[in-house]
Amino acid sequence: MRTADVFSFLFITLLIITKASSHLDNGSSASEWEGLLSSASNDPSIDHTDEDHQQFTAGFSSLDGMLQWAIGHSDPATLKEKSNHVQSLSSDDIMERQTQIKDLMGKLRTPSDGELMKIAIADLNNSSIISLEDHQRALDELLILVEPIHNANDLDKLGGLIAVIQGLYDSHSNIRITSAWIIGKACQNNPLVQNQALGHGCLPKLMKMVKSRDSEEGGKALYAVSSLIRNNDGGQQIFYAENGELMVQDIISNFSIDGRLRKKAMYLVADLVDYKLEHMDNLNTPFFSNHLLLKSIVNHMSSSDPDLQEKALLAIRSLITLDYIEAVMLKDVCNLDVSLELMRQQLEHFMIVEDQKDFAIDMEILRRDVDVIFQKKLLLEKRSTKQEFAAISSV
Ligand SMILES: *[C@@H]1O[C@H](CO)[C@@H](O)[C@H](O)[C@H]1NC(C)=O
Ligand SMILES: *[C@@H]1O[C@H](CO)[C@@H](O)[C@H](O)[C@H]1NC(C)=O
Ligand SMILES: *[C@@H]1O[C@H](CO)[C@@H](O)[C@H](O)[C@H]1NC(C)=O
Ligand SMILES: *[C@@H]1O[C@H](CO)[C@@H](O)[C@H](O)[C@H]1NC(C)=O
């Protein structure tokens, strides 16, 4: 919001409040308020530091915040000097008016996020609130409230994480779905909440939910699983101990499973491989060199869904970087060379279609990236095989 917009909004708001509170205000005219406000907006003592700027650009979190700001930034002495409308009032009068606004705001105050979270959590935890609608409404509220990281950080402290995890066991699928969604959202890039949720032991339950017949439930559960174990060593250990690799492989290799779920699963594979690469963990994880898995991922490169093709390419790009995955195997067993060439031809075709062009160019850059790594690795493997062969024959 621009500064001018903020003030015109403030002005209208104050007019409404003035009208609504004529008993408090008793006789003050709108023009007086206008004077009060315009003098605040023109006040040269307001120095536009980053923080002020932030307040404006980020927007006030509430009406209350906005008014507090206006009140805080209007110096009675300056106001008196500057405003034509309030010139007849003494500084004391204006000060009194400011106190009145503050009192009024106290009554009109919107509840904070923390208070709203407490209310939603109390509703979830209240055994006399059993209607599905109320339960769902409380969860829908939490889903929005946990988005900012500081709110997510408070969730467990308020007893909310346990209440939401209980929702995973509900008999209504919508309650289970929203509960998984909240967990996924709260854990996203948040090690604190990840560890709290892992501590409450919800990962195995979520992994079971991934196998649900309902693709909506499976999808939200897989989202939560990924969010829970991303960059989290402890979470990944539980994931592998619970046969997470089999779960992922079953999804990727089964083409009758919802495409969104397969996309998420391939994304998860790339993520898990990247984590290993980042931590120099090049120990052979049989999962990643599983031919069935690799073959299924390569097959997705020929999918008719460009999103699936992209996720497959990204997964291959990560996998091929692992030392123990041989390029020659990707060629001979998975036909990666054939898939890459087919994709190249397909993208070439899309590049002359106007509305597909940009996308096709981006995808071709990624495809070429993978192709270059693949060809290099093939060459290196050939060379080292020759050397080995030479070493053996010279013996
Ligand atoms: C408003 O002012 C009038 C006199 O100007 C007074 O009689 C009345 O009691 C006041 N009302 C309130 C609510 O203060
Ligand atoms: C539970 O909800 C009922 C109905 O809204 C309410 O009367 C009661 O005070 C609530 N109990 C708690 C512990 O919040
Ligand atoms: C939930 O309710 C139980 C008793 O019904 C209470 O002991 C617990 O403190 C409540 N938790 C929250 C977060 O309100
Ligand atoms: C593939 O997925 C479908 C739909 O979820 C399921 O019915 C089928 O059993 C799965 N096939 C295999 C081999 O797991």
Nearest atom of ligand 2 to the alpha carbon of 122: 14
pTM value is 0.71
Q: What is the pLDDT of residue 85?
A: 57
Å from CA of 18 to ligand 2 middle: 36
Q: Which of 133, 131, 124, 110 lies closest to 159, judged by CA?
A: 124
Look at ligand 1, atom 12, and give the residue with the nearest C-alpha: 23
Å from CA of 126 to ligand 3 middle: 8
Nearest atom of ligand 3 to the alpha carbon of 122: 14
- Verify whether ligand 3 is closer than 6 Å to residue 187 (CB atom): no
- Verify whether ligand 1 is closer than 6 Å to residue 100 (CB atom): no
Å from CA of 134 to ligand 3 middle: 17
- Verify whether ligand 3 is closer than 6 Å to residue 162 (CB atom): no
pLDDT in tens, 197-243: 999 999 999 999 999 999 999 999 999 999 999 999 999 999 999 99
Query: Which residue out of 21, 23, 25, 26 has the highest number of ligand 1 atoms within 8 Å of its CB and is therefore the one to mutate?
Result: 26
Exposed, middle or buried, 275 (CB in 10 Å: 0-12/13-18/19+)? middle
Ligand of minimum distance to the alpha carbon of 257 = 4
pLDDT in tens, 270-300: 999 999 888 877 677 778 888 999 999 999 9
CA torsion 214-217-219-224 (nearest 10°) is -160
Å from CA of 273 to ligand 2 middle: 48
Q: Using an 8 Å Cβ cutoff, are 174 and 136 in contact?
A: yes
Q: What is the pLDDT of residue 72?
A: 63
Single-letter code of the amino acid located at 141: E
Å from CA of 165 to ligand 3 middle: 14
- Verify whether ligand 4 is closer than 6 Å to residue 258 (CB atom): no
- Verify whether ligand 2 is closer than 6 Å to residue 24 (CB atom): no
Ligand of minimum distance to the alpha carbon of 128 = 2
Q: Using an 8 Å Cβ cutoff, are 352 and 361 in contact?
A: no
- Verify whether ligand 4 is closer than 6 Å to residue 215 (CB atom): no
Å from CA of 126 to ligand 2 middle: 6
Å from CA of 123 to ligand 2 middle: 8
Å from CA of 168 to ligand 3 middle: 18
- Verify whether ligand 2 is closer than 6 Å to residue 134 (CB atom): no
Name every residue whose Cβ is closer than 8 Å to that of residue 101 and which is 6 or more positions away in sequence.
14, 17, 67, 71
Name every residue whose Cβ is closer than 8 Å to that of residue 303 and which is 6 or more positions away in sequence.
259, 309, 312
pLDDT per position in the chain (395 positions), as tens?
444 444 444 544 454 444 444 434 444 444 444 444 444 444 444 433 333 333 333 344 455 555 565 656 666 665 555 555 555 667 777 778 777 777 777 766 778 889 899 999 999 988 777 788 999 999 999 999 999 999 999 999 999 999 999 999 999 999 999 999 999 999 999 999 999 999 999 999 999 999 999 999 999 999 999 999 999 999 999 999 999 999 999 999 999 999 999 999 999 999 999 998 888 776 777 788 889 999 999 999 999 899 999 999 999 999 999 888 899 999 999 999 999 999 999 999 988 888 888 989 999 999 999 999 999 999 999 888 777 767 766 65
Ligand of minimum distance to the alpha carbon of 131 = 2
